[in-house]
Amino acid sequence: MRTLDLVLPDTRYPIHIGQGLLDQGGLIARVLPQQKAMIVSNETVAPLYLERLRAALAREGVETLTVVLPDGEDYKDWATLNRIFDALLKAGCERKTALIALGGGVVGDMTGFAAACYQRGVPFVQVPTTLLAQVDSSVGGKTAINHPQGKNMIGAFYQPRAVIADMDLLDTLPDRELSAGLAEVVKYGLLGDAAFFGWLEDNMALLRARDKQALAYAVEHCCRMKADIVGQDEKEQGVRALLNLGHTFGHAIEAGLGFGVWLHGEAVAAGMLLAADTSRALGWISNDDVVRTETLLAAAGLPTRAPDLGAERWMSLMSHDKKAENGSVRYVLLKEIGYAVVANAPTDIVNSILCGKFIQHSLKV
Ligand code: NAD
Ligand code: GLY
The CATH number that applies at residue 344 is 1.20.1090.10
- Do residues 74 and 158 touch, judged by C-beta distance below 8 A? no
> Which of 15, 21, 44, 245 for a ligand 1 pocket mutation test, highest count of atoms within 8 Å of Cβ?
44
pLDDT score, position 311 = 83
Domain termination residue (choose one: 172, 205, 222): 172
**Do 189 and 77 belong to one domain?**
no
**Mean pLDDT confidence for 272-276:** 97
- Identify the band that residue 364 occupies on the pLDDT scale cut at 50, 70 and 90: very low
Q: b vs e for 256-281, b when ≥16 Cβ sit within 10 Å of the residue's Cβ?
A: beebbebbbbbbbbbbbbbbbbbbbb
pLDDT of residue 357: 52
Q: Is the pLDDT of residue 140 over 80?
A: yes
Q: What residues are annotated to the active site?
A: 120, 142, 184, 226, 236, 240, 244, 247, 251, 264
Closest to 192 in 3D by CA, of 336, 94, 67: 336
Question: Do 248 and 318 touch, CB atoms closer than 8 A?
Answer: yes
Q: Is 74 annotated as a binding residue?
A: yes
pLDDT, average across residues 86-110: 97
User: Is 59 within a domain?
Assistant: yes
Residue 130 known to bind ligand: yes
pLDDT of residue 120: 97
Please state, in angstroms and rounded to a whole number, the distance separating the CA atoms of residues 84 and 310. 37
| In-domain check, residue 363 | no
Q: How far apart are CA 179 and CA 183, in angstroms?
A: 7
Residues 188 and 121 in one domain: no
CA distances for 153 relative to 59, 109, 183, angstroms: 39, 12, 22
Domain boundary (113, 140, 172) is at 172
**What distance in Å separates the CA atoms of residue 191 and residue 181, rounded to the nearest whole number?**
16
* 111 and 256 housed in the same domain: no
Q: What is the pLDDT of residue 361?
A: 47
Say whether both 70 and 25 belong to one domain. Answer: yes
What confidence category does residue 132 fall into, taking pLDDT thresholds of 50, 70 and 90? very high
Residues with CB under 6 A from ligand 1: 42, 44-45, 48, 71, 73, 76, 103-107, 109, 129-130, 132-133, 136-137, 140, 142, 152, 169, 172-173, 177, 180, 264-265
- Residues 6 and 39 placed together within one structural domain of the fold: yes
Residue 76 assigned ligand-binding role: yes
Alpha-helical runs (H) found in 75-121: 78-90, 105-117
CA dist 58 → 25, 34, 102, 219 (Å): 8, 13, 16, 28
For residues 230 and 239, is the Cβ–Cβ distance under 8 A?
no
Rounded Cα–Cα distance for residues 301 and 298 (Å) = 5
Nearby residues of 346 by Cβ (< 8 Å), 6 or more positions away = none
- pLDDT tens profile 200-219: 999 999 999 999 999 999 99
Q: How far apart, in whole angstroms, are the C-alpha atoms of residue 321 and residue 279?
A: 19
CB 338 within 8 A of CB 189: yes
Which residue, by CA, sits nearest to atom 32 of ligand 1? 106
What is the reported pTM?
Answer: 0.95
Buried b (16+ CB within 10 A) or exposed e, 328-339: ebbbbbbeebbb
Confidence check: pLDDT of 74 > 80 = yes
Residue 46 lies in a domain: yes
Domain membership flag for residue 39: yes
In a domain, residue 362? The reply is no
Atom of ligand 1 at shortest distance to CA of 107? 2
Same domain, 348 and 223: yes
As a whole number of angstroms, the distance between CA 182 and CA 256 comes to 23
**Which pLDDT belongs to residue 281?**
94
Whether 224 is covered by a domain: the verdict is yes
Ligand 1 atom showing the smallest separation from residue 172 Cα: 19
- Name the domain count of the chain: 2
Residues 221 and 110 in one domain: no
CB-facing half-sphere around the CA of 221: CA atoms within 13 A: 21
Judge if 155 and 238 occupy the same domain: no
Looking at 172, 200, 224, the residue that finishes a domain is: 172
Biggest distance spanned by C-alpha atoms of the chain: 62
157 burial type by CB count under 10 A (0-12 exposed, 13-18 middle, 19+ buried): middle
What is the tens place of the pLDDT at every residue in 331-353?
999 999 999 999 999 988 998 89
Whether residue 321 has pLDDT greater than 80: no
Angle ∠(198,189,311) on CA atoms, nearest 5:
120
pLDDT at 164: 98
**323 Cα: distance to centroid of ligand 1 (angstroms):** 23
Residue 321's domain comprises: 175-357
| pLDDT at position 186 over 80 | yes
> 336: phi > 0 → left, psi -120 to 50 → alpha, else beta; which?
beta
- For residues 86 and 125, is the Cβ–Cβ distance under 8 A? no
Please name which ligand lies nearest the alpha carbon of 264: 1
pLDDT surpassing 50 at residue 359: no
Same domain, 123 and 272: no
User: Ligand 1: which of 41, 52, 53, 130 to mutate, judged by most atoms within 8 Å of the beta carbon?
Assistant: 130
Residue 136 C-alpha to ligand 2 middle, in angstroms?
7
Query: 30 in a domain, yes or no?
Result: yes
User: Is 106 assigned to a binding site?
Assistant: yes
164 assigned to some structural domain: yes
CA of 213 to the centre of ligand 2 (A): 25
| Ligand closest to the CA atom of residue 105 | 1
Percent of the chain with pLDDT over 90: 87
pLDDT category of residue 362 using cuts at 50, 70 and 90: very low
Q: Strands across the sheet with 163-166, in order?
A: 2-8, 11-18, 163-166, 124-128, 98-103, 36-42, 63-69
CB-defined site of ligand 2, < 6 Å: 136, 140, 142, 240, 243-244
Residue 45 marked as a ligand binder: no
| Secondary structure element (H or E) that encloses residue 267, with its range | helix 264-281
Mean pLDDT of the chain: 94
State the DSSP code for 46: I
